[in-house]
């Protein structure tokens, strides 16, 4: 029985892959990867390494999560070094904890290899620091897409009244609802907001606006997934700190 490395692939730019992640990729006998992992990372694998795609996109899943868990387990029975490569960080809405629990219950050794999370890196590549002295002293990372079979949402909207930065991951299709909920709890309609698509990649594109008009602006710009949403005064810093898109 082998060992599974639950590995963060980073947000997209291959240069943001960690040294440790690169090492285990190069040593892997099999790599089980998702849609958001940069495919160029697979080119670093050794000859003979197997590749298993288990990506998910807009509700269309190659495999449901319980089957993905089993695929990882079965590969651990056959291979010494198994890399489960996940976009961003495996423990930030990446279900890495669920996969680790499944392996632990079956006696399989595993290791977490953190990745650079898109929650911080993508805003940074758009010129938006999630905290900034005198502007925001804290930030919150929230899922923008919950499991549809939940009886009720676990998102605590009332806790978002504070004047802090909020980053929503996987929330593009729920953008209008997110903006309406924030306005409903008391965040001003003129609160700055940004939506960043395909962040840290050559296809990066961003749109800024306010809670009142961001949905319209995003629709007009035809922003595509994967995308994240940043809400808060730090968005205004983009005018002075933008570097990737400005350079292009």
Q: What is the set of active-site residues?
A: 34, 56, 170
The dihedral built from the CA positions of residue 115, 119, 123 and 128, taken in this order, carries a sign that is negative
| CB 6 within 8 Å of CB 102 | no
Closest Cα to residue 3, out of 29, 22, 41? 29
Bridge partners, 85 (sequence order): 7, 33
């Amino acid at each position: 029985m082998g060992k599974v490395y639950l590995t963060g692939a980073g947000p997209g730019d291959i240069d943001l892959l960690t040294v440790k992640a690169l090492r285990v990729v190069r040593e892997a006998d099999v790599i089980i990867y998702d849609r958001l992992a940069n495919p160029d990372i697979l080119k670093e694998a050794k000859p003979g390494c197997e590749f298993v795609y288990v990506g998910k996109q807009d509700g269309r899943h190659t495999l449901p999560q319980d089957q993905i868990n089993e695929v990882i387990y079965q590969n651990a029975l056959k291979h010494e070094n198994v890399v489960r490569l996940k976009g961003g960080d495996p423990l930030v809405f990446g279900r890495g904890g669920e996969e680790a629990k499944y392996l632990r219950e079956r006696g399989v050794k595993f290791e977490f290899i953190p990745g650079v999370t898109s929650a911080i890196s993508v805003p940074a590549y758009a010129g938006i620091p999630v905290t900034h002295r005198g502007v925001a002293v804290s930030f919150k990372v929230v899922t923008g897409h919950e499991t549809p079979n939940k009886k009720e949402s676990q998102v605590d909207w009332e806790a978002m009244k504070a004047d802090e930065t909020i980053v929503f991951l996987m929330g593009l299709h729920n953008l209008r609802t997110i903006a309406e909920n924030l306005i409903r709890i008391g965040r001003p309609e003129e609160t700055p907001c940004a939506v960043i698509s395909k962040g840290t990649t050559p296809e990066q594109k961003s749109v800024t606006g306010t809670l009142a008009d961001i949905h319209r602006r995003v629709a007009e710009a035809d922003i595509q997934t994967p995308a994240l949403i940043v809400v808060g005064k730090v968005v205004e810093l983009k005018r002075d700190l933008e570097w990737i898109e400005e350079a292009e």
